[in-house]
A and B are shown apart, each in its own frame.
Chain A
Amino acid sequence: MEPKLRVRDVYKIFGDNPQDALDRLKRGQTKEEILEESGQVVGVQDATFDVEEAHIFVVMGLSGSGKSTLVRMLNGLIKPTFGQVLIDEDDVASCSPEQLRRIRRNKIAMVFQHFALFPHKTIAENVGYGLKIKGVGAAERRQKALAALDQVGLAAWADSYPSELSGGMQQRVGLARGLATDPQILLMDEPFSALDPLIRREMQEELLGLQKKLKKTIVFITHDLNEALMLGDRIAIMKDGRFVQVGTAQEIVSNPADDYVAAFVADIDRGRVFTAGHVANAPAAVQLSASAEDALQTMEESNRTAVYVLDGEKVAGVVSYQDLSTAARGNGEAGTTLADVLVTDYPSAVEDAQLHELYGLASTGLPVAVLDGKGRLIGVIEPEAVFAQLSGDEQTTQQETGQSETGARAAS
């Protein structure tokens, strides 16, 4: 499927001779050199990216990195100097003012850092603003505004004024205003930066919850990498008006493109970036009917301390090497069945579970079973693999345990 939003070779140069600045950029001069020599400010350079429908694309950068300029070029609040911004087939960068208005009214809405609610309008009027601009009648406007407010849980405040609401509530109204016109694309310019940390976290979760239902195409601007990693299906790291790296949260954390990104990533809570699926191994399992000898052999071969036992397709439990060998010594190998030493109270997680949710499970010492939706075993996580991933030493890709990492190091 075609991406919803396609940005091609977009540059924004503030100054009276953008062509000159562009030539200088192409010759490899930096932003600072161009400013010094020609007085032109490069806002955004060479931005090219796609945003798939129903994805959240996060642009992360520090202040002055050009991220706010970039997002404003997507709805034409700032006109790109060069390049194309394609929403479906319309180019925001070059279309007529009427067409730009039509796109803004129907396809793309924006949520602002400082909420930008109109202080002279009630909450319902604020939320209905986009509809009013479109020429929707008062009754329908009110009804749609209330519906949008309901989504963010503020329907009761419809007739209050923005000044009566707290910051978090005001931004919910900002979000409702963005959603009221039912746009396909939502631009969010640091929407949660002005909120205190607890409210911010709450809003992030709420946004993810809403996104599950609404499936908007979202471009989200932030200066907080944690926020970016939490929300973004794909993340672009921006520096000096340029994308330094574009990728998923896991790609960026496990494989930073340069020292700049690496410095950011160093402080990241990796337990919230990686999921159970990233550290799981292919399961080594035996059937319940297998002999103790087979099970011990399986563990020895795969160098593991425990093995999962399946009863048909379902997981029956786990047996540890220690328990099984002790029992085997006591009863003789032939007289020991796996059912005797089966731990049925095994730790389990779903594939999407974040690593930080596994800490408690990993501390049992038993490998954690990764189950799919139907309760089938699709992977096993060794406790040490969780901590290896957290320590972040691992430069290699996912699906590798501490074991193979050591191997790789020794080889290099």
Chain B
Amino acid sequence: MFSPSDLLVIPFDDWINTLVRDFLVPNFRPFFRALQVPVTGVLNMFEAFFQFVPMLVTTAAFALVAWRTVGRGMALFTIIALIFIDMIGLWPETMTTLSMIVTSVLFCAVIGVPIGILVAGSNKLWAVTRPILDIMQTIPSFVYLVPIVMLFGVGMVPGIIATIIFALPPIIRLTNLGIRNVRGDLVEAAEAFGSTRWQMLWEVQIPLALRTIMAGLNQTLMLSLSMVVIAALIGAGGLGLTVYTGLGRLDVGGATAGGVGIVLLAIILDRITQALGEQSGVRTPSLRQTLVSLFRPRAAATGETKKSGN
């Protein structure tokens, strides 16, 4: 039976090899190396911070945030989950994973939100960006691990860069969606009063889109958590490494422990960011106010709960 490949075989893999090995690597390696610098800096800072702060303090801080944003039940769950992680001996790995995730989410937000705002303002730009985001989301992450290793080397930072690529699309998409969904007459009103582009963004568009942006942030966070194990393949540490090592040694117990650690961390972070997003939509959507409410004096808060208890 005839098939088109009898006529012509396209050496697609060779082309990509040539592109990456003979063009990108020799010419742009210094550039890609330079890209690592900010990521390394931020990661080291978070890592040092989370490893330095005693376990009980971190737990208390998470419990407090969970209590203020979600409620007492979630605070209790946070305490039990973090104590459990400590007791199964995975506290340092969990903190490494946490700092990796915080770093990648931070970079995703710093890159993704401005891009989202930019593409929300132009249909042409969005038409170009959309297929790129589709590719980023559908391409199996194993595929780009190889070029990442070639360009960035192995280790924590390349792992985080892979995570950023993987987790970036939702925050761009949802920022775009949030900004586009701001009611047309509100934008018109802001314009009619003589707002500049920046004033429009800060005063109207971002506050009103914040709820959607927060949902995007939550998605990004969840995606970066799921990338943790895969990033361990190229030398990233933390809970992913525990799972990966367990896998390599057929150590069911070790792998499960790492997995449980990831799940518990995921639940805590998911609930807290979701609650932040919902809060921001109802009444006080300014990020500042939300943050202020987190650090309101404890005394006032306990007074409130006592009242509701009666």
A interface residues (Cβ-Cβ under 8 A, vs B): 72, 75, 77, 101-105, 109-110, 112-114, 116, 118-120, 129-130, 132-134, 161, 181, 187
| B204 close to A77 (CB less than 8 A) | no
User: Closest CB-CB distance, A252 to chain B, in whole Å?
Assistant: 29
| B189 close to A101 (CB less than 8 A) | no
Known: A77-B188, A132-B203, A133-B199. A119 touches B208 (CB 8 A): yes
User: Closest CB-CB distance, A19 to chain B, in whole Å?
Assistant: 25
Known: A112-B185, A129-B203. A181 touches B208 (CB 8 A): no
Q: Give the nearest-CB partner of B183 in chain A.
A: A116
Chain B, 191-221, CB within 8 A of any chain A CB: 191-196, 199, 203-204, 207-208
Q: Is the interface of B mostly helix, strand, loop or mixed?
A: helix
Q: Give the nearest-CB partner of A106 in chain B.
A: B194
* Cβ–Cβ < 8 Å partners of B189 in chain A: 110, 112, 116, 118
| A120 close to B192 (CB less than 8 A) | no
| A101 close to B194 (CB less than 8 A) | yes
* Cβ–Cβ < 8 Å partners of A105 in chain B: 193-194
A104 to B196 CA separation, bound complex (whole angstroms): 11
| B195 close to A133 (CB less than 8 A) | yes
A104 to B193 CA separation, bound complex (whole angstroms): 6
The winner among B183, B193, B195 for most chain A CB atoms within 10 A is B193
Which residue from A113, A120, A161, A181 sits with its C-beta under 8 Å from B193? A181
A130 to B194 CA separation, bound complex (whole angstroms): 7
User: Closest CB-CB distance, A64 to chain B, in whole Å?
Assistant: 18
Which residue from B190, B199, B285 sits with its C-beta under 8 Å from A120? B285
| A-B Cβ contacts below 8 A, count | 59
Q: Kindly list the 8 A-B residue pairs having the minimum CB-CB distance in the complex, ordered from nearest.
A: A104-B194, A105-B194, A116-B189, A116-B185, A110-B192, A130-B193, A101-B194, A120-B207
Q: Give the nearest-CB partner of B189 in chain A.
A: A116
19 A-B residue pairings within 8 Å (CB atoms): A72-B188, A101-B194, A104-B192, A105-B194, A110-B189, A110-B193, A112-B188, A112-B189, A114-B185, A116-B183, A118-B186, A118-B189, A118-B190, A118-B208, A120-B208, A133-B203, A161-B283, A181-B193, A187-B192
User: Closest CB-CB distance, A135 to chain B, in whole Å?
Assistant: 10
Known: A105-B193, A181-B193. A116 touches B188 (CB 8 A): yes
| A77 close to B191 (CB less than 8 A) | yes
B279 interfacial contact with A, CB 8 Å? no
* Cβ–Cβ < 8 Å partners of A113 in chain B: 185
Q: Give the nearest-CB partner of A97 in chain B.
A: B196
Taken residue by residue from 176 to 191, chain B's Cβ proximity to chain A (1 for < 8 Å, 0 otherwise) reads as 0000000101101111
Known: A120-B285, A129-B203. A101 touches B196 (CB 8 A): yes
Q: Report the interface size for chain B: residues with CB under 8 A from the other chain.
A: 20
Q: Give the nearest-CB partner of B286 in chain A.
A: A120
A319 to B2 CA separation, bound complex (whole angstroms): 117
* Cβ–Cβ < 8 Å partners of A116 in chain B: 183, 185-186, 188-189
Q: Give the nearest-CB partner of A131 in chain B.
A: B193
| A118 close to B204 (CB less than 8 A) | yes
* Cβ–Cβ < 8 Å partners of B183 in chain A: 116
User: Closest CB-CB distance, A238 to chain B, in whole Å?
Assistant: 20
User: Closest CB-CB distance, A365 to chain B, in whole Å?
Assistant: 55
A116 to B207 CA separation, bound complex (whole angstroms): 15
A103 to B203 CA separation, bound complex (whole angstroms): 20
| B192 close to A75 (CB less than 8 A) | yes
* Cβ–Cβ < 8 Å partners of A161 in chain B: 283
* Cβ–Cβ < 8 Å partners of B203 in chain A: 118, 129, 132-133
Chain B, 273-303, CB within 8 A of any chain A CB: 283, 285-286
A116 to B204 CA separation, bound complex (whole angstroms): 11
* Cβ–Cβ < 8 Å partners of B191 in chain A: 77, 104
* Cβ–Cβ < 8 Å partners of B196 in chain A: 101, 133
Taken residue by residue from 25 to 39, chain B's Cβ proximity to chain A (1 for < 8 Å, 0 otherwise) reads as 000000000000000
A347 to B189 CA separation, bound complex (whole angstroms): 50
* Cβ–Cβ < 8 Å partners of A120 in chain B: 207-208, 285-286
A181 to B192 CA separation, bound complex (whole angstroms): 12
A109 to B194 CA separation, bound complex (whole angstroms): 9
User: Closest CB-CB distance, A79 to chain B, in whole Å?
Assistant: 12
A129 to B190 CA separation, bound complex (whole angstroms): 8
The winner among B189, B196, B207, B286 for most chain A CB atoms within 10 A is B189
A181 to B199 CA separation, bound complex (whole angstroms): 17
User: Closest CB-CB distance, A117 to chain B, in whole Å?
Assistant: 8
User: Closest CB-CB distance, A71 to chain B, in whole Å?
Assistant: 10
| B193 close to A133 (CB less than 8 A) | yes
Q: Give the nearest-CB partner of A183 in chain B.
A: B193
User: Closest CB-CB distance, B278 to chain A, in whole Å?
Assistant: 14
User: Closest CB-CB distance, A186 to chain B, in whole Å?
Assistant: 11
Known: A116-B185, A119-B208, A132-B203. A77 touches B286 (CB 8 A): no
* Cβ–Cβ < 8 Å partners of A134 in chain B: 194
